[in-house]
Chains A and B, each alone.
Chain A
């Protein structure tokens, strides 16, 4: 590719990215539903978190489960600096937000460096325990600082809700990771994930690679934290508990460790999915609930027992049969559920979908992990080339079988 062509496509993607961010912002705020606006902004933050954790966890293979700590360091450090200097500086709020983001990123990067150090000696489970401990230590330190409000929380000025900036950060984070994987430098990170000893013997500086992964991953989480702090204008240590780390980790694993597009997809859906029952808010009878749960069990069993072994040279026919069987089963479960409504206890006990939404989420996760243990996209990236390759591979694979 020639230089001018590279610069041309680069400029085009920057323009498109910015257009997308402002377009999304305009579209969402146009809805005037504060709840939806907030949801879209938080989804953007979680996309940043999951993609940045994917750099540490999926690409470099360092099992870290303390990502909420970096998020927290970013939120608090940016908040503290803002409260001290914002009133005395002349910049407009959006420009100031970018500075705030950088402050959050720098402090979180320092925290990343500190956590990265033990990762040079520890692997797998042991590293996971250290990062988990680190996350809790940071939270408890903040919890005990009275000047930052302790458990009461800490007010941050100015309040600034910038959906476009949040999504711009997410896109920068995605672009950074994607660039790395497109370049030969990314191979060093993947090599460390695959086999540290061999990577070092091939001249990869394993120490530097791991520390860089932690620093960059933490910096993006910190920048996201800074934006979160200003968006809420109030933070307290309870917002950065272990659950957040685990939710982000779930996003990475569900999307497929190492797959950036997988992390984006899982980050956005996993955050919005548990909110859906709140939006559509419906009641579910006990009968319907049981029938659907049972149906899901049968669905998993049917897919693994029969449909995976079902060979059919005609791709279209196979897809139709598999989809038909699955949809049919779901419809059957609903019909059975409706019929059960006539039975005394099953029909009269009602559940609010909103209240059991985390149970629904858990079941969905369970089903995905059972049917696809490597995550939605495995190690792959979503692209049209990839889709074509998979279709072709299936064709040739079945032709030879």
Chain B
């Protein structure tokens, strides 16, 4: 059974069909890429999977359960978490606290206990802090654990978003343009982080990216969208030579 399965997923905003009958399966352990020119519907696709939008028609199944129409926090709970294209960190909270918010999803104590600060809550909070510290070390941010998220550099903020998503303990992690605006050195660092997430933490990764070199060197399977439609699917070498992809990115041959 595939981990995530999109069946003819479609969403229309009035007359505009942003995503049109997109189908793909993601197996456990995949490093899956979603690419396409600007406005192709990649982020909308993410929003469908994470429950921000509900598909107009079609199905999205996660581990055999239909997840269309579920609230985003429910979807996070069953194991899908994401990062955002335009970074959405909790600005005035520290880097550590940001990651703790992600880890908070798996809390077991009651909110009433939180208001009374019971010993169980103190213990759990310490555990969450420890878990968050570990994840910060995965993305090499231990040294800025107590800095405010909004004071971090751009590349660090991007990595912090990944750590925060990882903290929710997802089965599938969605990265929306993780390398955008990074310099070559930061991109290399990010590449190793993504491999670490997949190999050491055994997560499945679905990522959107514009940097072709980055995607080709990272992903094992790639889906290409253009104007909301799926135009190609395959491994990097197939995608590279696919005439439709070349046309979508470079325009029609004269």
What residues of chain A have their CB less than 8 Å away from a CB belonging to chain B?
A: 1, 3, 6-7, 176, 179-180, 182-188, 190-191, 194-195, 197-206, 212, 216, 379
Contact = CB atoms under 8 A, between A and B. Distances in A.
5 closest pairs, A vs B, by CB? A185-B114, A203-B105, A203-B76, A179-B117, A194-B90
A195 B72 contact: no
10 contacts: A7-B119, A179-B115, A180-B115, A187-B104, A190-B97, A191-B93, A200-B71, A202-B76, A202-B167, A216-B115
A286 B128 CA distance: 61
A262 to B, nearest CB: 14
Contacts, number: 114
A191 B90 CA distance: 6
B125 A182 contact: yes
B10 interface: no
Contact of B101 (A7, A202, A206): A202
Given A179-B116, A179-B117, A184-B128, A204 B104 contact: yes
B122 interface: yes
B198 to A, nearest CB: 21
Interface string B112-127: 0111110101101100
Interface of B: 50, 52, 71-73, 76-77, 81-82, 84, 88-93, 97, 100-105, 107, 109, 111, 113-117, 119, 121-122, 124-125, 128, 164-165, 167-168
A201 B114 contact: no
Contact of A183 (B88, B90, B125, B165): B125
Q: Which of A198, A200, A205 is the most central at the interface, judged by chain B CB atoms within 10 Å of its CB?
A: A198
A1 B126 CA distance: 10
Nearest to A196: B88
B71 A194 contact: no
A231 B84 CA distance: 53
Contact of A199 (B92, B101, B115, B125): B101
**Interface core residue of B90, B102, B109, B165 (most chain A CB under 10 Å):** B90
A354 to B, nearest CB: 41
Contacts of A190: 90, 92-93, 97, 101
A186 B104 CA distance: 10
A6 B50 CA distance: 40
A392 B128 CA distance: 28
Given A184-B125, A184-B128, A201 B115 contact: no
Given A180-B115, A186-B114, A198-B84, A204 B101 contact: yes
A201 B101 CA distance: 11
Given A6-B119, A200-B73, A184 B89 contact: no
Contacts of A191: 90, 93, 101
Given A191-B90, A201-B84, 4 more contacts: A176-B116, A185-B107, A197-B52, A201-B73
Contact of B92 (A176, A194, A200): A194
